[in-house]
Chain A
Amino acid sequence: MSPEAQHTILWLIPGAPLAAAIIIALLGPKWLGERSRWPCWIAQAISAVCALVLLANIVPNNWVQAADDNGPVGVVASGYTWLDLGQADDGGMQVRIDLRADAISALMLAMVTTVSFLVSVFAAGYMHGDRGFPRFFAAFSLFVFSMCMLVLSSNYLQLYIFWEGVGLCSYLLIGYWYERPAAAAAAKKAFVVNRIGDMGFILAIFLIWTSFNSLDFSSVLFDADQMRFALDQHPNRLAWVPFLLLIGAMAKSAQFPLHVWLPDAMEGPTPVSALIHAATMVTAGVYLIARSMPLFMNVPDAQVLVSVVGAVTALLTALIALTQNDLKRVLAYSTVSQLGFMFMALGVGAAGAHLATAGATAGMFHLFTHGFFKALLFLTAGSVMHSMGDVIDMRRFSGLRRALPITHWTFLCGAAALAGVPLLSGFWSKDEILVVLHEASEHPQYGNYFATIYWIATITAALTAFYTFRAYFMTFWGPERFPAEAGHHPHDAPPVMAWPLRLLAVAALGIGLVTGVTHWFARYLQHTPSMEPEEHMVFHVDLMVLSSAVALAGIAAAWWMYVRRTGVASGVASRAPFLYDLSAKKFFLDEIYNAVIVLPLRLVAKLMYLIDVFVIDRIVDTVGALPRLLSAGPRLLHAGFVSNYALMMWVGLLACLGYMLGLFS
């Protein structure tokens, strides 16, 4: 393929959704109406096809060619100069908007664009009849554009630009039903919490800029000489960079303690939750860390912290998910928990450079499979909401498996994949994470950390299986009950919604077998520059057996508690009310943040404003009043009475006389 054709294809991946967004934004509200779906569908389809071409053809060709002529790996399609202040070593900064694709971005794009396409098809059915239909599809397309640009970024500032770009789309789509106060509040919360992460990210960028004098991946990440040089020159600065990047990644990927925005984000339409808040945007943090692995490799402590953050998040949110009654919230917490799994894997590089690539591979692989099955789960939840008249509280319906057969079967596929049922996609990726954690626990220095994390991961895996199937059994088993909002005969998903579900179900079942067992994913990913190819990849049968057993035990427990003996669950809850509340009320984190951060800050703000009005401004007014005060005395002399003036004249005359007579000398 000629370079020009390659560049065109590369640009089409983000370009098509952007064009769709512009078309829908301009024409949608007035003319297109519900036909806005077409530009969006076509654009996502073009984007997905181009991404698959990139994955199958362009990137492999590129690394073969690079190996032949010893050139740099990565396909670059040049764009334009966004900012040029001259050479960076001279205090300037140079930033170009270019597209750069290599193995990791190609894999990520393939997942992002195919899931986007399927979700966009589903959304057209789901959003049917909503008055903001064009607005939804405009923001949706804009999101896909930003996400593709994020993945295709060639430097850190470009990554940051689109990092915030996806945040904007997330804001717009969470707050899509703006007349609902909860949606408006959730949108703001998501943006502000993400801004905390952005602060860390931009500071990391400043540090990279001042120590490397460049922001390009090619010189920061892929050039060992520059890295050594920068380490030599600025060891302290570079020690900070991974921690700051981690803050950015924690906010975007909803890791503890910055995860609080994601469950609230479920106020958005369900397709948005599926695409943005499960499959794509929230994984940007994982991508950022995997991409920046060379910077993390310098600081083992930061890597351990990545794993610890992941472990804490995974366990904490899995515990919260146990007692949630809102189906979408269960899925939201499970997303956070699974992202925690990815973070655990990303940090194992601390236990030896040989594990870094394996860890990144495991994390990215889980990201990849998770994207498919979690999108599926959210879409099926959306399908449930659609037929239940927007009711999502699992206590208000049950036994839906006969009324909604398609939804039921596809949900089961997704749930089984998430729970880690052997041979399904979640099983392979979760297993890889357990393997790298297990290997890392042999490290002399950090081994104990990773051993603990390994056990946390195993426990979390059991909890995952339990809460996933708790949701499944509560929704689809038991006596058939519908809420009043659903009407008498709830309908299963119409074809436009059913087909995306079926296709995603196939992916959830099979994508692990295709890409995991064969190690195709790992071998492909390790062509990314900055990753060392692994020599031999083996399966750890013992770990597999353990994790299978754990998953099946979780499912069995859920079956026992929610199908066989339905009284047990409430019995447990009433026996340990404190623990139950702790989980159901999300460890009171929202309340704690409110009491510790938000309210004090608002109080300080109020105080500052009072000082502003009653102290600073008062001082100004006082100074302004000074001339008047000083003039109070002299003013009396100018009262306008002739007698006064006459008196003063006499005084003056006398003074002159006195002066002339030399009385004052």
Chain B
Amino acid sequence: MLQLLFLLLLSPLVAGGLLLMFSGVSQQRTARWIALAGSLLALVFSLEIAREYRQLQAEQQAAAAASIDTVRPSPIQPRVEFRQPWLSLSGSAAAPGAATSPNAAAATAKSPVLEFHFGLDGVSVAMIVLTTLLTVSCVLISWESIRERESEFYAALLILQSGLVGVFCSFDIVMFYVFFEFTLIPLFFIIAIWGGPQRRYAAVKFFLYTLAGSLVTLIGLVILVTQAAAAGLASPASLPDLAAWLRDYPEAMSYKLQVITFVALSAGFLIKVPVFPFHTWLPLAHVEAPTAGSVLLAGVLLKLGTYGFLRLCLPILPEACLQVGLPAGAILGVVGIVWGSLCALVQRDLKKLVAYTSVAHLGFCILGLFALNRSGITGGVLQMINHGLATGGLFLLVGMVYERYHTRMLDDLGGLANRLPAIAAAMVFISMASIGLPGLNGFVGEMLSLAGMFRRHPYVGVAGTTGIILSAWYLLGMLQHFFFGPLREPAHGDHSFGDMSLRELAAILPLAAACLWIGVTPQPLIEMIRPDVDAVTQLYAYREEPAEQTPGEVMATPLVAEARR
């Protein structure tokens, strides 16, 4: 499986490199075929990884059930991992050779080392599949609309994919941060070169704003690593080791320092998600980005923020998450939901509207993650995946409309269902997924996030639930104004285009199928992420509401119950 993972990391890079190398020489039009082949190959790899991962998980769970192992695993535990020290922090050379387990690593290398630490757990597998799936759609949707410097465009797209996969399989801080920042570069070029009229401003703003946040995050990371190294942790940058260390020795860092670290780490993630009020770069970047850029930006890049919370904050700094993260997340999540929804309500630009829906939907995600209980975190993770599918789909469809009319404004467009019935039908479907209609994917994540927050703070949960009314209002309003009613088209321009082509169908159909599949049977996906979520949740288990005797116990001992009454 690890070989597959490396292939998955490298194959888009290789394809991208090929594209760049021949960009001057080859036929520009062949670039998209190379890109399609590369992205399809990556998709196949990722699906195979997912399959093997499920198999391995089943085997390991069976084995774990059989044995009576009392060792508590770390709150972050990749099921497969690859560790290779590459730098000794104390100056002396690290012991060469790959170590396959944390214990072995600790035994062979006494002095703190930095490692290449790649691995996979359920959440990473799910996010990787989401990334590769969306990339294929991105290549397909760019097929006709990108007409200049194609090789470079597809190279950037594939390199971006590699970077994203890299983030999701990194299990040490240095690798994580390198990939986290690396993803900015290809997207910067995608927006700045192939974007709309204001692309320079949008690209620079996007780049600098997120970079500024990330630099603060870097401070937090440095604090963590130096503290761990000073405490004698053998591999202070490894996430599993860090999490286990701080869980077992919470006094190793003072509470104040933990909070400072948490706030520093959060800075970059908050901007990346983006959480209200750090979201203003997002609508701009989306409006200016080409369709493929928007799809990957909304579908995966924003998830780096929530993924960062899930990987770095929640498992490593539980006390700070509980004391600071929970109230802040609850308030910012609710405000984000309401603010994003209401802003989406008054947009006259279709793409900007969809951009604001991201702010609202990721508010649910934040609410779920910072509910810090099982249903909440599960809901948050599902919401990451579901938002990627649904919003990715929405941007694809917006792109299809834009490609035909070269406008996205409400004043120019209306009643498109009369001209483009298939696109309208797909729009209704994906909108329903985004609204959180049960039976499609959005519902599970939203419901669990809200349920988790409701369990934590009922009133916050109630406030968040208003989002389900607002989301119906703005998205159905969008459908009503853009797609239903009498046909309204720009007067000028060529209107000889047809409805959704096979290529576009191939781009949207996998996403729609995934939406339906997750909605009808969310359990397989939940199975995959549940052990990882549970590991994190255990940190917070004793901090839950006071334990109550359950009806189950009463049923077991009716006499006690009788006495109680």
Contact = CB atoms under 8 A, between A and B. Distances in A.
B564 interface: yes
B537 A191 contact: no
B343 A213 contact: no
Interface stretch (B7-15, B86-94, B154-162, B546-554): B546-554
A230 B551 contact: yes
A620 B281 contact: yes
B205 interface: yes
A624 B205 CA distance: 9
Interface string B344-375: 01110000000000000000000000000111
Contacts of A423: none
Contacts of A543: none
A91 B544 contact: yes
B484 to A, nearest CB: 3
Interface of B: 205, 208-209, 277, 280-281, 339, 342-343, 345-347, 373-375, 378, 415, 417-418, 428, 432, 437-439, 443-444, 447-448, 450-452, 454-455, 458, 461-462, 465-466, 468-469, 472-473, 476-477, 479-480, 483-487, 521-523, 526, 530, 534, 537, 541, 544, 548, 550-552, 554-555, 558, 561, 564-565
30 contacts: A82-B523, A83-B444, A85-B526, A86-B374, A86-B534, A91-B455, A91-B537, A93-B375, A164-B439, A165-B439, A172-B428, A175-B484, A178-B483, A179-B417, A184-B485, A187-B484, A192-B472, A192-B476, A195-B473, A202-B468, A206-B454, A206-B455, A206-B458, A206-B461, A214-B551, A229-B551, A609-B346, A613-B280, A616-B280, A620-B280
A624 B212 CA distance: 10
A534 interface: no
Contacts of B280: 612-613, 616-617, 620
A266 to B, nearest CB: 17
B443 to A, nearest CB: 8
Contact of B565 (A92, A209, A214, A232): A232
B362 to A, nearest CB: 16
Contact of B277 (A160, A196, A604, A616): A616
A89 B448 contact: no
A325 interface: no
Contacts of A232: 564-565
Contact of A602 (B346, B452, B484): B346
Contact of B530 (A85, A162, A192, A228): A85
A560 B552 CA distance: 66
Contacts of A212: 551
Interface of A: 80-87, 89-93, 157, 160-162, 164-165, 168, 171-172, 175, 178-181, 183-185, 187-188, 191-192, 195-196, 198-199, 202-203, 206, 209-210, 212-214, 219, 225-226, 228-230, 232-233, 601-602, 604-606, 608-609, 612-613, 616-617, 620, 624
B486 A179 contact: yes
Nearest to A200: B465
Contacts of B548: 89, 233
A476 to B, nearest CB: 35
A87 B548 CA distance: 14
A93 B451 contact: yes
Contacts of B558: 225
Contacts of B551: 212-214, 219, 225-226, 229-230
B519 to A, nearest CB: 9
B375 A606 contact: no
Contacts of A157: 447
A103 to B, nearest CB: 26
A191 B374 contact: no
A51 B339 CA distance: 47
Contacts of A160: 438
Contacts of B534: 86
Given A184-B480, A605-B346, A203 B472 contact: no
Contact of A606 (B346, B468, B554, B555): B346
A586 B194 CA distance: 54
A191 B476 contact: yes
Nearest to B472: A195
Contact of A188 (B417, B477, B565): B477
Contacts of B550: 89, 213
Contacts of B483: 178
B466 A608 contact: no
B256 to A, nearest CB: 26
A552 B530 CA distance: 65
B374 A84 contact: no
Contacts of B448: 85, 93
Nearest to B205: A624
A135 to B, nearest CB: 9
